[in-house]
């Protein structure tokens, strides 16, 4: 699998763009807001909600960051206009985090504020270890400023994550709202697990800690050992599928408190998502769109060559992974 992935990484740059586009079409809604809205309206029939991501990250200058602020602002307008049940997901480096932290914070707050006024939740995606602490700090800072509609993502593969869960949930109580995933970035061995089983076990420990701390927990994985573990844990804790994540909202938003949802990437294991939804679980689909679909695809595969294998398996054996 790893050898195959490395082979694809090597030859991908010479693959014709139309082939890459065809493959990416499964995982990306399109290049503009309209295509994302059309897709979400259609997929709403599958009893799912959404979180939308404008493709692009690690920009080269702050003008590019303005583009993301404006595009996310338009996106919020469209979510409101069409009444779509959607959050937004944004990458702090696209807002300038690696260029000028203060400006990035202002940019993020501009979007967060507009989202808050319209009761829309904002998730800061987690990028590689260079920005882990800064991303967490931004969430804590915004909560301190009174924005309760923000949460971040933690990555099970990092050694630090169990401690991060404890610190964030101690600090935010029922306002803590996590997405937990394995982590897509292949991080250095002195800060992360690299073995599959260790990553699964560490991610499952984080899920337990999140639920036990009374936090809202979005489980973002397509992997059965993680989903099965989560279902078992929810059952043992007596958290039923019909639990309404927002039922403890009293007057002023008091945070979601304990609750959960399952999150999936567009194009990956749709059958499993639909099965969870039909069993009564709340599901959310991560929908990326944007002109940078090519760079996004190439970059993800470079960061983690295993993705090349998943994609190829899906193309050759479509029954293993329905959209
Ligand atoms: P895997 O073992 O990788 O996958 C299980 C099975 O799912 C595979 O066998 C394959 O059949 C299928 N599959 C998984 N990925 C793909 C794919 N790309 N194409 C085709 N089939 C696939 N990571 C971060 O670092 N930061 C984030 O902010 C972040 N946000 C995420 C948000 C969501 C909603 C999801 C679902 C994932 C997110 N991730 C993020 C990615 C995550 O960390 C993992 O890299 C990714 O989900 C693959 O891990 P897995 O748990 O699904 O298990």
Structural domain boundaries of the chain?
A: 29-289
pLDDT at 25 over 90: no
Task: Detail the DSSP E strand segments found in 210-258.
Answer: 216-220
Closest among 259, 298, 304, 300 to 282, alpha carbons compared: 259
Cβ of 184 less than 6 Å from ligand 1: yes
- CB 53, CB 287: distance < 8 Å: yes
Q: What is the pLDDT of residue 27?
A: 86
- Tell me what the mean pLDDT of segment 266-274 comes to: 93
For 146-167, give one letter per residue: b (16+ CB within 10 A) or e. ebbbbbbbbbbbbebbbebbee
pTM score of the predicted model: 0.91
Instruction: Report, at the CATH architecture level, how domain 29-289 is classified.
Output: Alpha-Beta Barrel (3.20)
138, burial (CB in 10 Å: exposed 0-12, middle 13-18, buried 19+): buried
Q: 2-16, 25-39, 163-177 — which is least confidently predicted?
A: 2-16
* Residues 6 or more apart whose Cβ sits within 8 Å of residue 308: 4, 5, 8, 9, 12, 301
Say what the pLDDT of residue 5 is.
58
Q: What is the pLDDT of residue 156?
A: 98
Counting residues of the chain whose pLDDT is more than 90, the rounded percentage is: 72
Q: Which of 239, 282, 232 is nearest to 85 (CA)?
A: 282
Name residues whose C-beta falls within 8 Å of residue 302's C-beta, 6 or more positions apart in sequence: 9
Spacing, Cα 81 to ligand 1 middle (Å)? 30
Residue among 90, 130, 220 whose CB has most ligand 1 atoms within 8 A, to mutate: 220
What is the 8-class DSSP label of residue 50? E
Average pLDDT taken over every residue of the chain: 88
Higher pLDDT, 309 or 269: 269
Does ligand 1 have an atom closer than 6 angstroms to the CB of 153?
yes
Q: 223 C-alpha vs ligand 1 centroid, how far in Å?
A: 8
Q: Between 156 and 174, where is the model more confident?
A: 156
- The b/e string for 262-291 (b: 16+ C-beta within 10 A; e otherwise) is bbbbbbbbbebbbebbeeebbbbbbbbbbe
Checking if the pLDDT of 118 tops 50, the result is yes
More confidently predicted of 279 and 295: 279
- Low-confidence winner among 9-13, 47-51, 160-164 (lowest mean pLDDT): 9-13
Q: ∠ at Cα 15 (9, 16), nearest 5°?
A: 155
Q: What is the pLDDT of residues 38-84, one digit of tens each?
A: 999 999 999 999 999 999 877 999 999 999 999 999 999 999 999 99
Which atom of ligand 1 is closest in space to residue 300's alpha carbon? Answer: 18
Across 177-184, average pLDDT: 96
User: Which percentage of the chain shows pLDDT scores above 70?
Assistant: 81
What distance in angstroms lies between residue 113's CA and the mean position of ligand 1's atoms? 29
Kindly tell me if the per-residue pLDDT of 148 is higher than 90.
yes
The answer, yes or no, to whether residue 246 has pLDDT greater than 70, is no
For every residue of 91-113, DSSP letters joined together read -GGGGTTTT-HHHHHHHHHHHHH
Q: Which atom of ligand 1 is nearest to the CA of 123?
A: 28
Q: Phi/psi class of residue 47: alpha, beta or left (left: φ > 0; alpha: ψ in -120 to 50)?
A: left
- Residue 317: CB partners within 8 Å, gap ≥ 6? none
Q: With a cut of 50, say whether residue 207 has pLDDT above it.
A: yes
The string of pLDDT tens digits covering residues 72-104 is: 999 999 999 999 999 999 999 999 999 999 999
Contact partners, residue 93, CB within 8 Å, separation at least 6? 57, 58, 59, 127, 131
Say which residues have a Cβ less than 8 Å from residue 73's Cβ, sequence separation at least 6.
110, 111, 114
DSSP 8-state secondary structure symbol assigned to residue 30: -
Ligand 1 centre to CA of 222 (Å) is 6
User: Residue 287, by phi and psi: left (phi above 0), alpha (psi -120 to 50) or beta?
Assistant: beta
Q: Which of 51, 127, 221 is the best mutation target for the ligand 1 pocket, counting ligand atoms within 8 Å of the beta carbon and taking the most?
A: 221
Q: Which of 268, 288, 320 to probe ligand 1 with, by most ligand atoms within 8 A of CB? A: 268
> Does any ligand 1 atom lie closer than 6 A to the CB of residue 125?
yes
The number of the ligand 1 atom at minimal distance from the alpha carbon of 224 is 5
Which one-letter DSSP state was computed for residue 131?
Answer: G
User: How far lies 177's CA from each of 42, 153, 211, 260, 283, in Å?
Assistant: 28, 9, 10, 9, 15
Give the sign of the dihedral formed by CA 239, CA 259, CA 265, CA 178. Answer: negative
Ligand 1 atom 28, closest CA: 125
Residue 24: pLDDT over 90 = no
Which range is least confidently modeled, 66-80, 112-126, 158-172, 297-311? 297-311
In the predicted model, what is the mean pLDDT of residues 201-228?
97
Tell how far the Cα of 265 is from the centroid of ligand 1, in angstroms. Answer: 7
Maximum alpha-carbon separation in the chain: 57
Closest approach atom of ligand 1 to CA 153: 28
Among 203, 223, 317, 320, the mutation site with the greatest number of ligand 1 atoms within 8 A of its Cβ is 223
Higher pLDDT, 87 or 26: 87
265 Cβ inside 6 Å of ligand 1: yes
What pLDDT is recorded for position 236?
94
Mean pLDDT, to the nearest integer, of 192-199?
A: 97
Q: Give mean pLDDT, residues 95-122.
A: 97
Question: Which residue minimizes the CA distance to atom 41 of ligand 1?
Answer: 184
């Amino acid at each position: 699998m790893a050898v195959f992935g490395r082979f694809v990484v090597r030859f991908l740059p010479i693959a014709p763009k139309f082939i890459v586009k065809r493959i990416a079409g499964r995982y990306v809604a399109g290049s503009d807001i309209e295509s994302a809205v059309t897709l979400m309206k259609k997929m709403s029939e599958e009893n799912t909600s959404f979180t939308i991501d404008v493709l692009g990250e690690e920009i080269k200058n702050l003008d590019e960051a303005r583009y993301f602020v404006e595009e996310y602002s338009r996106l919020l307008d469209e979510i409101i206009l069409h009444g779509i049940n959607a959050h937004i997901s944004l990458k702090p480096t696209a807002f300038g985090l690696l260029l000028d932290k203060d400006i990035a914070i202002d940019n993020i707050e501009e979007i967060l504020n507009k989202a808050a006024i319209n009761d829309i939740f904002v998730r800061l995606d987690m990028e590689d270890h260079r920005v882990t602490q800064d991303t967490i700090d931004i969430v804590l800072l915004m909560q301190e400023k009174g924005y309760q509609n923000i949460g971040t993502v933690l990555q099970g593969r990092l050694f630090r994550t169990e401690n991060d869960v404890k610190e964030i949930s101690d600090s935010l109580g029922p306002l803590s709202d996590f997405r937990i995933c394995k982590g897509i970035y292949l991080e250095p061995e002195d800060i992360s697990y690299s073995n599959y089983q260790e990553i699964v076990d560490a991610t499952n420990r984080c899920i337990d800690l999140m639920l036990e701390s009374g936090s809202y927990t979005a489980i973002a994985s397509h992997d059965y050992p993680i989903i099965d573990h989560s279902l078992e844990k929810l059952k043992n804790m007596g958290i039923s599928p019909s639990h309404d994540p927002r039922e403890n909202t009293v007057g002023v938003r008091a945070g979601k408190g304990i609750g959960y949802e399952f999150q999936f990437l567009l194009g990956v294991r749709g059958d499993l998502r639909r099965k969870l939804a039909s069993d009564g679980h709340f599901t959310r689909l991560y929908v990326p769109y944007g002109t940078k679909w090519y760079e996004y695809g190439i970059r993800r595969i470079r960061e983690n060559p295993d993705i090349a294998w998943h994609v190829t398996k899906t193309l050759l054996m479509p029954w293993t992974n329905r959209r």
